[in-house]
Structure 1
């Protein structure tokens, strides 16, 4: 295959970030690319008191620990994927700015879901959300079940913005030789829902009409990519359910969940709203977020 861009992974020394290194190493091998490990290091962020004495670590100790973190991550990557080209660097700055810069020209940037608190941690609520909005390439958050098995799950909303995620998901399914489950949750505001005291039932609509519209939306989103990737087996799924719940439940069987950065309906404001927070915190598999600007320009050419 002709995919030369580097896969970048951010590490901070936490178990979650080291797990992300293993996932990133596998992604690099899939793409035939190198792996670049980045440890963002800022003395202002890491000078915290240690123990009851309240004495901060000397600068030399902090520098050594940062370098050891990067080297340990590189060793784990090489152990997980022997023969993989791996580089590791300690870069001055905050994780937000360092990883955003590192995403330039990268095929993928990978982070974990938990870090070392608010000091240098790669947190879902900060670094991952920031990268999803500002990285120059798709973001993969390594969480849940890391095993590369099962179908690839795609959340479809039918928006122009979401089309980038659809194209990226087709390319990934082709690359992995995986089945693609394209899920469209169409009953976010209508139909029977559980209500409690003081909660009113939503207006009643013609569910047959809504279902037919949802079918057209899903097929329109998939059709052009089916033609470009005829080898990908696609399983369209229409689910009368709230978007977040449908995707979280379906992620139990998936090897990767792909969503767009913004969309309409249940995906509106994905990066900032409750849907994204629910997915990033509760999905049972890694989650990839793709923005409109990151729509694939070409398909992977497999040897």
Structure 2
């Protein structure tokens, strides 16, 4: 069974950017595309019910079906792929997660309109990033479209989550025939003044960062020998460094939770900051998400 690329749409032009990205990705991966629109209208009585075969179903003029029509037409201009449409009813985050449970990727726009993306980055996309069973990709608005370098940037801190991000980034780069820039960012611990060491051995810290990069990439560079990988150890706040890198990269990839995260948290500080501030397409890869490229 081939896992679909799942994209959520709400009728906004912002969501169409997600459709464009998802359709192109489905074409690259040779996977079907599932276009999902979620409505809560039935519950409020906004959409008239059609009773047939003993169940409630939307009539042909349901606005949600029109949203799906437009999205499908847009998708077909980007790739020749098998397209499946789903009209979901219920709470947006939970219903969207159900529709993407068997997906290879869940793709969402950065902003939108109405119920679907009201406080999107504070609600729907965060819950998706925390709970989706597959990697989640957030696509920026069209105002963020700018010339981008042919590279994928991946943040690495040595955690298991960042190693999964490496696997995703290398696979994605191989499909696109572009390179990877692997970044390990570090900054001085924020000790109280009376506890700060008098001297930091920057060379030792950078050596450790280089080791983290090398060990995290080991095996994956051998699996994808045609992918050029640049390794960088950069002094600076990791979230700020990766956000800056997202300005020009085709895709920024981060793990859902890295080193230092509390066990009860599903999103770490870096992935959460990237979710809110990345200036290009962002992929958040969870430890349990598995390999997005698997066709099942």
Q: Same fold (TM over 0.5)?
A: yes
Residue number in structure 2 paired with 1:164: 164
Secondary structure of 1:80's aligned partner: coil
TM-score (norm 1): 0.82
Q: Residues 107-256 of structure 1 correspond to what in structure 2 (within 5 A)?
A: 107-117=104-114, 119-121=115-117, 123-143=120-140, 144-145=144-145, 150-189=150-189, 203=197, 204-256=199-251
RMSD between superposed Cα atoms in Å:
3.1
Question: What's the offset of the Cα at 1:77?
Answer: 0.8
Q: Residues 258-277 of structure 1 correspond to what in structure 2 (within 5 A)?
A: 258-265=253-260, 272=267, 274-277=269-272
Distance 1:138 1:78 in 2: 23
TM-score (norm 2): 0.84
Does the aligned pair in 2 maintain the 1:157–1:266 contact within 8 Å?
no
Question: What's the offset of the Cα at 1:5?
Answer: 1.8
Distance 1:189 1:240 in 2: 12
Does the aligned pair in 1 maintain the 2:271–2:284 contact within 8 Å?
no
Distance 2:15 2:292 in 1: 30
Question: What's the offset of the Cα at 1:275?
Answer: 3.2
The alignment covers a number of residue pairs equal to: 281
Does the aligned pair in 1 maintain the 2:251–2:283 contact within 8 Å?
yes
Question: What's the offset of the Cα at 1:188?
Answer: 4.9
Distance 2:218 2:294 in 1: 16
Does the aligned pair in 2 maintain the 1:38–1:89 contact within 8 Å?
yes
Distance 1:80 1:146 in 2: 19
Distance 1:65 1:178 in 2: 40
Q: 1:297 to 1:94 in 2, by over 3 A?
A: closer
Structure 1 gaps, min length 5? 48-55, 192-197
Does the aligned pair in 1 maintain the 2:104–2:134 contact within 8 Å?
yes
Secondary structure of 1:231's aligned partner: coil
Query: Which one has a larger percent strand, Structure 1 or Structure 2?
Result: 2
Is 1:102–2:99 an aligned residue pair? yes
Distance 1:142 1:298 in 2: 19
Distance 1:190 1:172 in 2: 35
Q: 1:207 to 1:177 in 2, by over 3 A?
A: same
Does the aligned pair in 2 maintain the 1:141–1:287 contact within 8 Å?
yes
Distance 1:74 1:41 in 2: 17
Question: What's the offset of the Cα at 1:44?
Answer: 6.4
Does the aligned pair in 2 maintain the 1:150–1:255 contact within 8 Å?
yes
The Cα offsets for residues 227-284 of structure 1, whole Å up to 9 and x where unpaired, read as: 2211111000110010111111111220000000011159999865653343223222
Distance 1:201 1:71 in 2: 62
Secondary structure of 2:161's aligned partner: coil
